Amino acid sequence: MSKPVRLASFCRLCLVKSNASKVSIFEDQSGALQDLLKLIELEINATEEPNAVVCFECVVTLEGFQQFKEQCHTNDEFLKTVPPAGEEDAASCASSELSCHFLEDDPIASEEEGDDDDVGLEILNADSEPEEGLVLDEEEVCDEPKAKKAKVARKKSVPKLDLEEIDRQCKEHNIKVHRKVEGPTLDDLQVLKDSYPDYFYFEKGTQARYYKLVYYGERFHVSNFTERYTYWMCMHRKKRNCPAQICVRNDYGDFERRHEHNHEELKEKEGKAFTPRQALPELFEICRSRVMHKTAMRRKKILERKLKELEEGPDTDEEANSKPSAGLKRVLRQSGVMDGLEESDGDESDEWNE
């Protein structure tokens, strides 16, 4: 019987062959990557395809898909709390705005669609009011006269994850969810310099909330924050399906263009220009907030999974042997993809669960 053909140089999902970094599916002790594959209902046999790999672009896509799925469920739960049109209490929804949050981690919009001023990410402020998302006014949820207004309570904000409490529970159950970071940390990188190269700066529209990166005259919006790098995507990613991406080290001293544009030069709106020293303090704070939030989410999920495993009892020998032998983070670091996915909280890093 001939040996099965091994396509280790091809991504198992998109079937693209490239020299870019790839991640082995079965070299993952935590099972995080396999969990992501379950989102697309895809099962890969470790015996038949032991060398199966996934490219960096597909891993990022899966991560975004999971975030989108979770946000959809959150929005659905909120909408179930909106009173039906037939109830008297629904007559006064206009007196208190009802809003829900949409997916924040990939705020993609195209200037061609008229969304230029809504591209990017806004600084997170613990004391600020929630961002407006879906707003239901009086005409949309009720038909009764305005005279019968009755206040409807605002949706309670989702409580913030307590990273210290999660770590305390992990320590109590002897569950390891983080390790030492190899290389510079976010604190090491987020230091404002006296000067920066003149080939990049930032822009913001007159009514915009978010910054754009202008790199050699090309405009990008932020897509993902990690411990060491920030990823900026083409402004026309959604409209043109453009893969152009700039990977920027978090000290903004190193830029790497990972893909080229797939469209001709397009006319773009120009906003007010900001120097790196003017814009970076705010961007640093956004980056730190996102990294810390994702760290807490990941550790919480690892804690929940480990506690569930403890309740169910130890695995059988057959199940134990079928588990991968190395952690996903270790494989990512060795393959060079680590900085595109890793999230941590200063001196510690947690397992990836998104």
Q: Which has more pLDDT, 139 or 328? A: 328
DSSP-derived secondary structure letter, 95: G
Q: Which has more pLDDT, 104 or 318? A: 318
Question: Annotated binding residues for Zn(2+), as ranges?
Answer: 11, 14, 55, 58
Look at residues 284, 266, 262, 282 and name the one whose alpha carbon lies nearest to residue 274. Answer: 282
pLDDT for res 315: 55
pLDDT for res 341: 46
Q: What is the DSSP string of 42-83?
A: ----TTT-TT-EEEHHHHHHHHHHHHHHHHHHHHHHHHTTSP
pLDDT for res 231: 93
Look at residues 138, 112, 69 and name the one whose alpha carbon lies nearest to residue 264. Answer: 112
Query: Would the pLDDT of 325 be above 60?
Result: no
> Could you tell me if 305 and 352 are in contact, meaning their C-beta atoms sit under 8 angstroms apart?
no
Amino acid (1-letter code) at residue 119:
V
Query: Would the pLDDT of 142 be above 50?
Result: no
Task: Average the pLDDT over each of 20-29, 255-264, 299-308 and give the range with the smallest value.
Answer: 20-29
Amino acid (1-letter code) at residue 120:
G
pLDDT for res 192: 92
Query: Would the pLDDT of 23 be above 80?
Result: no
Q: How confident is the model over 17-21, as a mean pLDDT? A: 66
pLDDT for res 85: 57
Inter-residue long-range contacts of 112-115, CB under 8 Å, 24+ positions, other chains counted: 112/236, 112/239, 112/266, 113/238, 113/239
DSSP-derived secondary structure letter, 8: T
Q: If you average pLDDT over each of 4-18, 66-80, 288-302, 323-337, which comes out highest?
A: 288-302
Residues, the chain: 354
> Could you tell me if 216 and 246 are in contact, meaning their C-beta atoms sit under 8 angstroms apart?
no
Q: Which has more pLDDT, 196 or 10? A: 196
> Which letter, b or e, does each residue of 150-179 get, where b requires 16 or more Cβ atoms within 10 Å of its Cβ?
eebeebeeeeebebeebbebbeeeebebbe
Query: Would the pLDDT of 152 be above 80?
Result: no
Look at residues 335, 332, 334 and name the one whose alpha carbon lies nearest to residue 344. Answer: 332
Query: 203-217, pLDDT tens digit by residue?
Result: 988 877 788 999 998
Query: Would the pLDDT of 169 be above 60?
Result: yes
Gap between the Cα atoms of 286 and 121, Å rounded? 8
Query: 117-130, pLDDT tens digit by residue?
Result: 333 443 344 444 44
Q: How confident is the model over 23-36, as a mean pLDDT? A: 71
Averaged pLDDT of the chain: 69
Q: If you average pLDDT over each of 98-102, 193-197, 299-303, which comes out highest?
A: 193-197
pLDDT for res 79: 78
pLDDT for res 143: 46
Gap between the Cα atoms of 256 and 53, Å rounded? 24
pLDDT for res 96: 41
Element containing residue 203 per DSSP (H, E): strand 200-204
Q: Six-digit token pair at 268?
A: 């773009």
Look at residues 35, 2, 1, 303 and name the one whose alpha carbon lies nearest to residue 172. Answer: 303
Query: Would the pLDDT of 182 be above 90?
Result: no
Q: How large a percentage of the chain has pLDDT more than 70?
A: 58
Query: Would the pLDDT of 237 be above 50?
Result: yes
Question: Annotated binding residues, as ranges?
Answer: 11, 14, 55, 58
> Could you tell me if 282 and 211 are in contact, meaning their C-beta atoms sit under 8 angstroms apart?
yes
